Amino acid sequence: MSNSPLVKYTKLSPNCTKPRNHAIDTITIHCMAGNCTIETCGEIFAPTSRQASSNYGVGTDGRVGLYVDEANRSWCTSSGANDHRAVTIEVANDENKEPWHVSDKALAATIELVADICKRNGIKKLLWQGDKNLVGQVDKQNMTVHRWFAAKSCPGDYLYSKHGYIADEVNKRLGITPPAPTGTPITGKAIVTAETLAAFLLSKNAAPQLNGVDALGLAKLYISEGDIEGIRGDVAFCQSCVETGYWKFGNDVKAAQNNFAGIGATGGGVAGAVFPTAQIGVRAQIQHLKAYANKDALKQPTVDPRFALVTRGVAPNWENLGGRWAADTTYGAKILAVYDAVKAFKTPAPVTPPPAAFKSYTVKITASVLNYRSGAGTNFKINGTVKKGEVYTIVEEANGEGAKKWGQLKSKAGWISLDYTAKA
């Protein structure tokens, strides 16, 4: 087993298990939680009291250090099973807090290093799904992160968010051309109207938990904010239906946060970002979508606190958001399933109130003799006659020839001219 020719500095640590007991088939990228040079990192791993190490380190300057030969197991990821099969890499941070940012040089050097490790160890393709449940299933996912094995944020939100990008870049170097993106673009103009979106939402949840807007007002925000940035606001609305459970909430994010897309809610009870109004919440979501969808500049001031964490344009289609926006690889499909339901949704026709039921009344005949006819008009045939002073109940009125108004006798024997009657 060889080591990487990219190494610029070597200080082998005693903190390791010799040899590793499993072939290398996994990559685990860590963050140092500090801005150590590769030399300092070597010093940190040198004392046996430290009980920690990594195979490699990458400095903010992009230089690579070696601390544990690839042939041996580093003590890095709080998991012997992981570290026996993984090459571990500690990357320096150029900012000293979450999201534990790393320099562009460090990121680029990490990509080159990982590509080299894959080539020398026969890893044909780097696979990342952001799914802890796939640990050990290297045919589905052969990158792991420290946070899955211990209560740590390592590798930090920044590097974690870059894992899909790192995999894509490494795979290019391994000669794998990414499949042409196919799917439903996030960039574009809304097709479904705000009215339909609102009616759809109310059909799923008659009492959505909203702040300062009603369902229609909310839907209009998605359309208008989406149009400003050239993002599909109608589908973004569907994304929020998935995220909020049709504005019932009930998970880590609460209704009062105006956070309709789980921005910053990274799981495990983390509530995520809070926005002052529904409009700013929608705007942040649209901006976050734009970060993924394309490389165009924002038209409005940035309100998405995580905009800079996204590799611009890495996910042009809704289908590409799985494993990125959310760990769930079927995330995009779930959004589009709601969108399909919206498109199939028939806005219920406005209910026209039924005509007020006719109230029958009684009349007294004022003509000495009055014909009653088979219909409301003198053009209908005479069925018989009624006489002055008799009282009849009228059950329906109608217009017709020969009288201002015709009335139907309760007996249904026929219609009389109401001109020759008085209300009884």
User: Could you tell me the smallest distance in angstroms from the CB atom of residue 28 to Zn ion?
Assistant: 8
**φ/ψ (deg, to 5) at 157:** -65, -30
Residue 86 lies near Zn ion (rule: CB under 5 A): no
Q: Which two tokens stand for residue 393?
A: 């109940």
Q: How far apart are CA 268 and CA 282, in angstroms?
A: 24
79 vs 211 by CB, closer to Zn ion:
79
**Pattern 364-393, binding to Zn ion, x per CB under 5 A?**
------------------------------
Q: Helix H segments across 331-406?
A: 331-344
146 vs 232 by CB, closer to Zn ion:
146
160 vs 200 by CB, closer to Zn ion:
160
79 vs 209 by CB, closer to Zn ion:
79
Which position has the token pair 């709601």? 338
Q: Which of 99, 72, 91 is nearest to 156 (CA)?
A: 99
75 vs 247 by CB, closer to Zn ion:
75
278 phi-psi bin (left φ>0, alpha ψ -120 to 50, beta other): alpha
250: CB partners within 8 A, 6+ apart? none
Which residues inside 250-309 make contact with Zn ion, applying CB under 5 A? none
User: Could you tell me the smallest distance in angstroms from the CB atom of residue 30 to Zn ion?
Assistant: 3
Which of these segments, 3-11, 23-31, 272-280, 335-343, binds Zn ion (CB under 5 A)? 23-31
User: Could you tell me the smallest distance in angstroms from the CB atom of residue 324 to Zn ion?
Assistant: 21
Find the largest Cα–Cα distance for the chain: 126
- Contact assessment for residue 322 and residue 332, using Cβ atoms and an 8 Å cutoff: yes
- Contact assessment for residue 39 and residue 93, using Cβ atoms and an 8 Å cutoff: no
20 vs 220 by CB, closer to Zn ion:
20
User: Could you tell me the smallest distance in angstroms from the CB atom of residue 13 to Zn ion?
Assistant: 15
Spell out the SS3 assignment of 76-123.
CCCCHHHHHHEEEEEECCCCCCCCCCCCHHHHHHHHHHHHHHHHHHCC
In 249-367, which ranges are E strands? 361-365
Q: Which of 30, 163, 283, 290 binds Zn ion (CB under 5 A)?
A: 30
Q: Which two tokens stand for residue 228?
A: 């400003």
Strand-pair category, 369-373 with 403-409: unpaired
268 vs 350 by CB, closer to Zn ion:
268
User: Could you tell me the smallest distance in angstroms from the CB atom of residue 29 to Zn ion?
Assistant: 9
Judged by CB under 5 A, the number of residues near Zn ion is 3
For residue 28, what are the β-bridge partners? Answer: 88, 144
User: Could you tell me the smallest distance in angstroms from the CB atom of residue 339 to Zn ion?
Assistant: 39
Q: Which two tokens stand for residue 115?
A: 């590509």
Kind and range of the H or E run holding 143: strand 143-144
**Pattern 126-165, binding to Zn ion, x per CB under 5 A?**
--------------------x-------x-----------
User: Could you tell me the smallest distance in angstroms from the CB atom of residue 38 to Zn ion?
Assistant: 16
User: Could you tell me the smallest distance in angstroms from the CB atom of residue 34 to Zn ion?
Assistant: 12
Q: At what angle do helices 233-244 and 194-204 cross, to 10 degrees?
A: 10
72 vs 279 by CB, closer to Zn ion:
72
Which of these segments, 27-35, 67-75, 272-280, 409-417, binds Zn ion (CB under 5 A)? 27-35
76 vs 291 by CB, closer to Zn ion:
76
User: Could you tell me the smallest distance in angstroms from the CB atom of residue 15 to Zn ion?
Assistant: 14
User: Could you tell me the smallest distance in angstroms from the CB atom of residue 147 to Zn ion?
Assistant: 8
- Contact assessment for residue 218 and residue 210, using Cβ atoms and an 8 Å cutoff: yes
33 vs 253 by CB, closer to Zn ion:
33
**Residues at the interface with Zn ion (CB under 5 A):** 30, 146, 154
